[in-house]
Structure 1
Amino acid sequence: IKPEVEESVDTYPNRIEVQSLKQQKGGIILRPTVSHNVEGGRVQLSSNVLQSLGLGQGLLIAWEDPLTRSMGSARVDQAQISDNEIKMSQDTKEETNIKADQIVVYSTEPPIEKASELMLEVQSQPNLMGYCLVSPRTQHSLSLKTNDVVQFEDELTGAVGAAKVNISENVNDNAIVIDSEILEASGIGSFEVKVSKNQRQIIPLQNVTLGISPISGENMWEVISAARENIDPLKSWLKNYIIFKGIKLRWNEVNIGCSILDCVPDLKGDILATITDNTTLTLRPTGLIPFNAVLIIDISRSMMARDVYVTNIAPAIEGIKAAMESKEIQEFLKKFKDGINIPRRISAAFAAVLFLSEKVGRGFGEKVSVIRFADEAQLLPFGDGWYMDSASGEKGLLEEAARLIVDRIGNAYGQSTNMGEAMGLAYQVINEFEKINPDQPTMIVLLTDGQPTDSDQFFTTIQRFSEMNNVIIYIVGLGNPDDELMRKAANLCGGEYFKPDDAGELLVWYSKRARDLSVKLKAHK
């Protein structure tokens, strides 16, 4: 009797030849390897394998083991690995019952079709910091990568916007999630937008004028001061956004709303731009801000030089004539005839008178002090006080102040240029202003044609002013002052240095300064 031979049991009765399985699935044969660096639910493939499968980063793949006939699927990450392997975690290998040395990997996704534009459903999400989110399929269809820029257009209204891209596997393939700030700023209101990859160069902005306002509350200067104190974080926040025409943004953490009022280069057409570390920011309140002023005027001997050309001053002349009837002022105005050169000190006196006139016209109760300096710094008296109150209502106040300036500025001179002493006196004036109007900013306007003979005191006071968020310093240069020094001093204190070509430019500039308080924050001071 022959002994019974026990038949061996096939551990994998449903096995299939790997080549046959490859043909069935239309996939490729890869060797599964385990890596501790791969997350569960994800696998890694080489770029060549992804390309052969018609897939990309973040899309879904599946696989089948020819021995166990077990199947699995996961999101794919592109990695620098061999073209004949698929890397996965130990858990993924065990949970999908992989036993074979080779498995068949195939796509579960429709083939990616490359496109120059897609119509996508609009979804809004706050706090995306200037970004939009798209799915991996959209990423590969439009040939995008993280931080690329996309444009989106509402075809019904023509409204457009732009944003940097992040890729999210949580976004539907037919949708784009846009930062709510960008969506609101763009004016897009339709359910769908046309999305395309930006092909144009993003322009770095040289300087930007930001309209600043509080998101809540009414204290405009408090918001300007907050922006000035947080200039580096403000610029870092703005750098996240692609800047396009009409954009308005809200920085909720510091209660700042801002809009692009002006920029260089401009944003005409469909130009897209960005703010960089080198961009100069000018902060301009979108509402009226009352502010006090200190006018500091050089009366040194060089200010007698007759080299300020008179042109384009008719509006200023007529305005002062209408406001003041005194013989002294009328005689003073006769000095300004088109086509002649006048002394620097005379043009400085006219500019100061015009500034006071503008302040009175505003009627906000703003206070103006005037300091003249040469051998010493002197604070001009206004009646019994040391400043002119533009809303005092006192009859003849402006005219009396104008006569004082014409006499003390237009008809006086000294030898030295004690600019530092004058700035020190301005510091004392501002401290007194603070006691009267604690929350009101002060503008200093320094007019000079020379260099400080007391430079150490000048630098010390400028440094002190640069640390005061309620002070802005503008400097006007006539003749041949130290341009570099004056520009640096103004930049440190949030203002600007201005050199007019003629009397008309000087008067227009003073007129604007009396009405407009802006803070300029240079990238390089």
Structure 2
Amino acid sequence: MPEIKLFVDTKADIQNKVLISTSNAEKLGITGQAQAEIVNPDNDKKIQTTVEASEQVLDFAGKFAKNVLDQLAFSGVELIVRSLGGQSSAQPSPAETQPQKAPQTPQRKAPPPRPQQPPSSMPKPQGIPQPTPPKPPRTPGAPSTPPQQMPSPPKQHIPGQGQPSQVPQPSGPGGMQAAQPEEIDPYPNRIDPSRLRDQKDGIILKPVVSSNVEGGRVHLSGNVLQQLGLGHGMLIGWEDPLTRSEGSARITQAQINDNEIRMSKDTKEDTFIKADNIVVYSTEPPIKKASEISLEVQSQPEMMGYCLVSPRTQHTLSLNKDDVVAFEDELTAATGAAKVDISEDVDDNVIIIDSEILEASGIGSFEVKVSKNQRKILPLQSVSLGISPITGENMWELISTARENAQALKDWLSNYIIFKGIKLRWKSVNLACSIVDCVPDLTGDILAQITENTTLNLSPQGLVPFNAILIIDISRSMMARDVFVTNIAPAIEGIKAAMESREIQEFLKKFKDGVNIPRRISAAFAAVLFLSEKVGRGFGEKVSVIRFADEAQILPFGNSYYMDSASGKKGVLEDAARMIVDRIGNAYGQATNMGDAMLKARSVLNEFENMNPDQPTMIVLLTDGMPTDGNKFFEEIQKFSGNPNVVIYILGLGNPEDELMERAAKLCGGEYFKPDDAGELLVWYSKRARDLTVKMKAHK
């Protein structure tokens, strides 16, 4: 059976009928109207209905009654019309057009003769005289028809007989239908959608109005964008094959059907879309994919480590938002990197770079070579930041502020791609920072990023005076002889040169290379070295020493509880060293009352803060065991953790409770360290005397 596939045009004023063009009717063998089978190819539903030929229908489409479409559950674009072979003519049969003769009237006696009337040109009707019906007006242009015989008058009703049948009246002269005026096509410039698609090199889509689409934009699926060679933010155009009206808009990529283009109601009305399907095409020059392109450089402040490119650049380099791009100054070989964002306001030949990144990279040219970064961005394990104020000199206040806002600092830094030599400024908090060191290190063109798991170490860029409290364990276990002497010659020579007393010289003789010494002896040496470094700095820093075992004691420095490193009195350092050697190197107890020692340290801290509230204090705890006074130690640690002017470092010898010590140091911005030998112990203490670094761990 012959069949044709047609685009669907809904016609609301017909029922159970389909109108097709006369040429399509000929293909199906239909000359007037006939029953045919309508098939929905999307769901294979079929119905039979009347199909009628019409000169007002185009060859590529059919006009379908709405109830026919509902029965087929139609929601697509095309339907199939299939001939069933039988047909019925649309012309009325002769029996329908020829008026029936009225039945003969029964014969009656003729009436008496009447006077003769003048002759008339009108013939007399047969039977009972009837008035002549008015002649219907002649339709202009209609051919004249010969006069028809007047029908006989209807039979009179005789009681007891049935009602006589009514004679059908002709609807026009000669019983023919009056001709209707020809219908005017409202879309005289219409074009076949397939032909228009080929002309525009586009695709056919169904326009769908959606309240989720803002004016001036349309939504398209990713597959459609790929087919058109376009991307989010670029421009498309469309044309209606009925009205031939055109429109254009920016694209928003969305999760929609591949056969749809979604738009606002205003967009559809303003561009006069009437067809069920329109042709959509690209208005942009073809995109040529590239691995790198040259772009003009513009800078913009407060971009939080980002750069901006146009949608065309995005698709040329195959970029997505938050991808990383690298840029290189071909004149100076300076390089940099940044996360990318897409802006429709950026010219296609321009890249806008955060001014901080541009300055840090050293790029000075007006044009850079831009490429998508193909290397993995390394997550940094730890970063040492050199901190300084952008303006002013209050270094420690800045460190304290950063410490109190550790998460905000990390969030700010995580916006930036970290590369070798980068320097950044957080202007809202007056903070400038540079990468002093990091793990892993940045060599060559390695790019890295600060994450939630990165440990930040804040080191002042410049001298920051700070007081210190040294807390030393002298419990019985500290007499264990297991600290190996190695790599301490520089420390011994430094102490010998600074102190000439016999007691100190004899003390130093115990440190022979390659032997093990008691833990308490190595602790005493570390404390003496720390005092020596503080005196050498000459900033007037104060150092207090607390020993603890069964109880905690603050060691006296003359009549004071601390040593003033800038007192200027002769022999102050040697007196302090002899006291430490005697009270620590030659003493021991039984218990490890660590909580009591921290309580004593808090009383010393209060005195330091009374003298200078803004000066920071470092507390250094050396121990080889675990607290024997319950939770008192950690309770005191928690009190210290709320003070931004305190940093606590802990050094472990032997077998202390590592997990507890690690946790305590992290809470207070310091670190927990276990040296392998006496050399590492002394180097660590020497560095602590000179360097107040705040460590902000990823997880507390």
Matches within 5 A, 1:68-467: 68-467=243-642
- Aligned equivalent of 1:3, options 140, 155, 169: 140
What is the CA–CA distance in structure 2 between the aligned matches of 1:249 and 1:261, rounded to whole Å? 12
What is the CA–CA distance in structure 1 between the aligned matches of 2:254 and 2:478, rounded to whole Å? 73
Deviations for 1:466-512, whole angstroms, at most 9, x for unmatched residues? 11111111111111211221111111111111111111111111100
TM-score, normalization by structure 1: 0.97
What is the CA–CA distance in structure 1 between the aligned matches of 2:256 and 2:469, rounded to whole Å? 70
- Aligned equivalent of 2:213, options 24, 38, 42: 38
**Aligned equivalent of 1:516:** 691
Deviations for 1:102-140, whole angstroms, at most 9, x for unmatched residues? 322211101111111111111112222222111111111
Paired AA for residue 487 in structure 1: E
What is the CA–CA distance in structure 2 between the aligned matches of 1:20 and 1:301, rounded to whole Å? 99
Identity %: 78
Deviations for 1:180-207, whole angstroms, at most 9, x for unmatched residues? 2222221111111111111122211111
Structure 1 stretch 433-442 or stretch 210-219: which is displaced more?
A: 210-219
* Matched residue SS, 2:213: coil
What is the CA–CA distance in structure 1 between the aligned matches of 2:669 and 2:633, rounded to whole Å? 17
* Matched residue SS, 2:631: helix
What is the CA–CA distance in structure 2 between the aligned matches of 1:124 and 1:9, rounded to whole Å? 62
**Aligned equivalent of 2:97:** none
Task: Note the residue ranges of structure 2 that are not aligned, 5 or more in a row.
Answer: 1-137, 142-179
Q: Following TM superposition, by how much is the alpha carbon of 1:166 offset from its aligned partner in structure 2, in angstroms?
A: 1.3
* Matched residue SS, 2:351: strand
Paired AA for residue 406 in structure 1: V
Q: Following TM superposition, by how much is the alpha carbon of 1:13 offset from its aligned partner in structure 2, in angstroms?
A: 4.4
* Matched residue SS, 2:462: coil
* Matched residue SS, 1:184: helix
TM-score, normalization by structure 2: 0.73
Q: Following TM superposition, by how much is the alpha carbon of 1:294 offset from its aligned partner in structure 2, in angstroms?
A: 0.3
Structure 2 residue 612 is matched with structure 1 residue 475: no
What is the CA–CA distance in structure 2 between the aligned matches of 1:77 and 1:517, rounded to whole Å? 53
Q: Following TM superposition, by how much is the alpha carbon of 1:433 offset from its aligned partner in structure 2, in angstroms?
A: 0.2
* Matched residue SS, 1:455: coil
The aligned length equals 525
What is the CA–CA distance in structure 1 between the aligned matches of 2:201 and 2:517, rounded to whole Å? 91
Q: Following TM superposition, by how much is the alpha carbon of 1:10 offset from its aligned partner in structure 2, in angstroms?
A: 4.8
Seen in structure 2, the aligned counterparts of structure 1 residues 140 and 501 have a Cα distance that, compared at 3 Å, is: same
Q: Following TM superposition, by how much is the alpha carbon of 1:11 offset from its aligned partner in structure 2, in angstroms?
A: 3.6
Q: Following TM superposition, by how much is the alpha carbon of 1:6 offset from its aligned partner in structure 2, in angstroms?
A: 6.6
Structure ID, larger Rg: 2
What is the CA–CA distance in structure 1 between the aligned matches of 2:615 and 2:360, rounded to whole Å? 32
* Matched residue SS, 1:201: coil
What is the CA–CA distance in structure 2 between the aligned matches of 1:368 and 1:48, rounded to whole Å? 71
Structure 1 stretch 155-164 or stretch 6-15: which is displaced more?
A: 6-15
* Matched residue SS, 2:470: strand
Structure 1 stretch 415-424 or stretch 289-298: which is displaced more?
A: 415-424
Paired AA for residue 515 in structure 1: R
* Matched residue SS, 1:83: coil
Paired AA for residue 274 in structure 1: Q
Paired AA for residue 154 in structure 1: D
- The one of the two structures with greater contact order (alpha-carbon pairs below 8 A, sep at least 6) is 1
Task: Note the residue ranges of structure 1 that are not aligned, 5 or more in a row.
Answer: none
Paired AA for residue 316 in structure 1: A
* Matched residue SS, 1:381: coil
Deviations for 1:407-443, whole angstroms, at most 9, x for unmatched residues? 1111111111111111100000001000111100000
What is the CA–CA distance in structure 2 between the aligned matches of 1:176 and 1:303, rounded to whole Å? 64
Paired AA for residue 451 in structure 2: T
What is the CA–CA distance in structure 2 between the aligned matches of 1:485 and 1:19, rounded to whole Å? 77
**Aligned equivalent of 1:24:** 199
**Aligned equivalent of 1:506:** 681
What is the CA–CA distance in structure 2 between the aligned matches of 1:83 and 1:370, rounded to whole Å? 77
Paired AA for residue 408 in structure 1: R
What is the CA–CA distance in structure 2 between the aligned matches of 1:215 and 1:160, rounded to whole Å? 24
